[in-house]
Chains A and B, each alone.
Chain A
């Protein structure tokens, strides 16, 4: 056991650092620095940058275009990415459906879908939750009925993140109701969003933004070739995906970056007030959150090491999910507290790039702090609510 990086790892870190410093499009960097929203095209251009460098899929096996990095290298990469304030990768293709396709898909599906996922040519979204099936996902009612060489899909998916941008959706659908356990009879289908019968309806969240949607399917025809793995076994595949997703939702590197930035911000005077760093109460809360995060960072490293030695992330990934999201929300609260009255103005439009900083209300992202705090209430709800994570741990880890 040792905690310092080897010379080789340090060299790798420098290489990644240099890449994020010099090879991300300047306009995207500027948008990130000035809190401007990214467009669909910005995300794609950014991810293509990673792709061209061969770094689009750190978690994939080399044979499908992954990096073959050790868990420590993946950790270094994630940290450098966050430190550079680079955008997050949109997870639905690269982190979710990709691993399902290369693990459970047939050769034809691998050839057809993986290259486009890797190159960010295709934008994916996730069709899991339904209006009546949230925590109880296995109760899902969207049906796919076999009709010769295709399925006919009917139903509604909800909370579908960025479906408004998506080219394809991966869905859990019910292909049989005549089953002993509800988890059986569910299948994993890949559906082209341009198929007739699909409509996307925006859902506005409490911060006033449009990120999530309802997706309706009315007699949508899906070729049987788009079924991943065996019919009726989708729950198993979907669960593997969720475990990958939950590891990702910890966002340890992002939280580290935000806490570091908060410390830097606290050491400066904002608008002529005393630096927040002189407020013991506040800094003690920052320090306590840092301790929680350090613990989670090493829990995640241990999990990544287990995955690198060939195991899919197990039920322990639930710990990463619920602790990680609690920490994100604690950081949101600290930022909002730091903003004081300047958390109040609702002025998201001022973060468009063309508005000069001098014309903005509040310093930096102060006026985004409450909005982020509100929006991030979702993180303890999505990807299986934190209550469900604790159920999983109780059942599968503790055997209760």
Chain B
């Protein structure tokens, strides 16, 4: 066991920290979030130029050969900066599926431009009825000669409105909830029969409802083996779960720091409110939640990175922790900021909203606790 970060990872952490300090203050973030795309294409290009979009991909694919640990570093920093650029959506989710399934031709067509920052991709992992069960796929794909015809609905597709290509899990055999019989299709967004309803999300990002009505794609759209798409889909979702937990840990830490700072400066009854013991203990609880969450995050990410026996349980453990302790930290940060905490003007509320949305994604606390209890 060794918990120290390599020199390379320290440099990555440092360079993102500098980027946020120099180029990504809260007002800038708010401007990007409220733009038509919900993020800055220029910043996205910059991420690609800095090599951040290449981090988890193999050198053969033009990546840096990094893994979950590198993504953990990156996402913690993105949490601190409250970055809205669709890194999770493109690199972790869509990229995670592509690197596991794509053929050489598909890598050249989809993965390389994704890494280069020239292509926006989304993974449509949820359906309106599926909840958190990503095997609950009722969107169907039927083969007619050489053509696949897709019909169905995909719900709350993160980055779905901005995507040039959407990875669509569809059922090619089996029953509605079977893991077997799910096939992944790379569907260009402009394909006839695919319609999108793009909207902002409550945390200042973008998603879309996507309807597929007789969408026709060729055999080159199939990613991986027919009927065995679930493995890659599930692995990408596990990666994404860890990634948002890392982002949450970054957010929890900055919320705690900012709350402590505020309590030292806000004077009521003639003294800083941080001098009240009732509030001190609550901030100690916030700090403890940060430390405990970071510990679980490091354990889970190392387990995932090394594919230990505990890897799957570790993902559920950290997501449960974020869903409970993370939410509590967010609520306390708002509460201790008083009225200011619920204003749009202050960053606190926006961190809290992102933390809340992370709690809603990839399985609630109870959903993961059920897995751990089983």
Contact = CB atoms under 8 A, between A and B. Distances in A.
A341 B335 contact: no
Most A Cβ at <10 Å: residue of B129, B342, B344, B364: B342
A162 to B, nearest CB: 15
Interface stretch (A16-24, A118-126, A132-140, A142-150): A132-140
B339 A346 contact: no
Contacts of A355: none
B279 A272 contact: no
B129 A206 contact: no
Interface in B253-275: 267-269, 273
Contacts of A224: none
A353 to B, nearest CB: 20
B128 A272 contact: yes
Contacts of A282: 366
A289 to B, nearest CB: 15
B360 A344 contact: yes
Given A345-B201, A373-B356, A206 B344 contact: yes
Interface in A363-389: 370-371, 373-375, 377-378, 380-382, 385-387
Interface residues of B, number: 45
B366 A281 contact: yes
B360 A206 contact: no
B83 interface: no
Nearest to B350: A206
Interface string B303-330: 0000000000000000000000000000
A139 B131 contact: no
A390 B268 CA distance: 16
A343 B273 CA distance: 34
A347 B338 contact: no
Given A340-B360, A344-B207, A345-B156, A203 B338 contact: no
Contact of B268 (A135, A208, A281, A371): A135
Contact of B342 (A271, A272, A342, A378): A378
B155 A205 contact: no
Contacts of A247: none
A274 to B, nearest CB: 9
A56 interface: no
Given A203-B343, A381-B335, A346 B201 contact: yes
A281 B278 CA distance: 32
Contacts of B201: 344-346
B342 A381 contact: yes
A206 B156 contact: no
Contacts of B331: 377
A374 B356 contact: yes
State the 8 A-B residue pairs at the shortest beta-carbon distance, nearest first. Answer: A206-B349, A136-B268, A272-B129, A204-B344, A341-B156, A271-B128, A281-B366, A273-B129
21 contacts: A133-B268, A134-B268, A135-B268, A139-B268, A204-B345, A205-B344, A271-B129, A271-B155, A273-B129, A273-B131, A282-B366, A336-B360, A341-B126, A341-B131, A341-B360, A344-B202, A344-B357, A346-B199, A370-B202, A377-B352, A387-B278
